Amino acid sequence: MTLAPEHPTTGHGIDVRFTPDGTPMAIRYDGRIWMVDPDVHTAHWFTRDSWWEHRTRAAVGSGDLVSVEHWQVQATQPSANTGLHTFTLRRDPLGTVWQLESIS
């Protein structure tokens, strides 16, 4: 399945490649590579997860259970000569996989 701006969906696992300073530079989704445009503004923020609604207890030393990381970037497929699309990415607390929240 390919996400299209007309049919955005959420919650799909994706691979994100980062620059040495920690900024996303490429996204692999659905067998395609999207290159993040470094000249367009990116947004990076954190929200809070209500871990107590999902877990009844938190083990001592279990790490940050509340910080949900988000990135919003502009990316294109150079080989397909597509225009810029806005990708919103999310990583849950203690998560190692990035999720695609939306493409527009």
Q: How confident is the model at residue 8 (pLDDT cuts 50, 70, 90)?
A: very low
The pLDDT score that the predictor gives to residue 43 is 96
The pLDDT score that the predictor gives to residue 2 is 42
Interatomic CA distance for residues 61 and 8, integer angstroms: 37
State pLDDT tens for residues 27-46.
998 889 999 999 998 999 99
The pLDDT score that the predictor gives to residue 42 is 92
Is the distance from CB of 84 to CB of 5 less than 8 angstroms? no
Average pLDDT over residues 43-52: 85
Residue 4 in this model has a pLDDT that exceeds 60: no
Interatomic CA distance for residues 68 and 75, integer angstroms: 22
pTM of the model: 0.77
State pLDDT tens for residues 53-104.
766 666 677 667 788 999 999 999 988 888 899 999 999 877 789 999 999 8
